[in-house]
């Protein structure tokens, strides 16, 4: 029993130290990844805002165009007798 504990204890301690070092070293990686994700999310939010603004602008232009088409229909239809 003493031989088993004599071998097991240093191996378990060494494994614990290795995993502790890997975990501590990984903590900085987590922080770096968090900063990258925050930067990327800010860029995505800005792009989404730009797309939303462009979409609203295109919708406004489309509404204006449809209004002009309706106005032209009302002007042209009585002259040529078409309602289409």
Predicted pLDDT of residue 41: 95
Predicted pLDDT of residue 26: 67
Residue 18, token pair as written in the block: 């290795």
Cα(69)–Cα(61) distance, integer angstroms:
12
Cα(32)–Cα(16) distance, integer angstroms:
25
**Which residues does 77 contact at the CB level (< 8 Å), separation at least 6?**
83
Mean pLDDT by 10 residues, the chain (84 residues): 78 91 73 88 96 96 94 82 57
Report residue 16 CA to chain centroid gap. Answer: 38
Q: DSSP 3-state helix, strand, coil percentages of the chain (rounded to 5)?
A: 95, 0, 5
């Amino acid at each position: 029993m003493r031989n088993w504990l004599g071998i097991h204890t240093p191996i378990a301690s060494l494994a614990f130290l290795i995993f502790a070092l890997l975990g501590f070293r990984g903590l900085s990686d987590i922080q770096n990844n968090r900063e990258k994700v925050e930067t990327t999310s800010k860029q995505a939010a800005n792009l989404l805002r730009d797309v939303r603004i462009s979409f609203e602008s295109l919708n406004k232009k489309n509404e204006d165009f449809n209004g002009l088409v309706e106005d032209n229909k009302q002007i042209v239809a009585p002259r040529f007798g078409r309602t289409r």
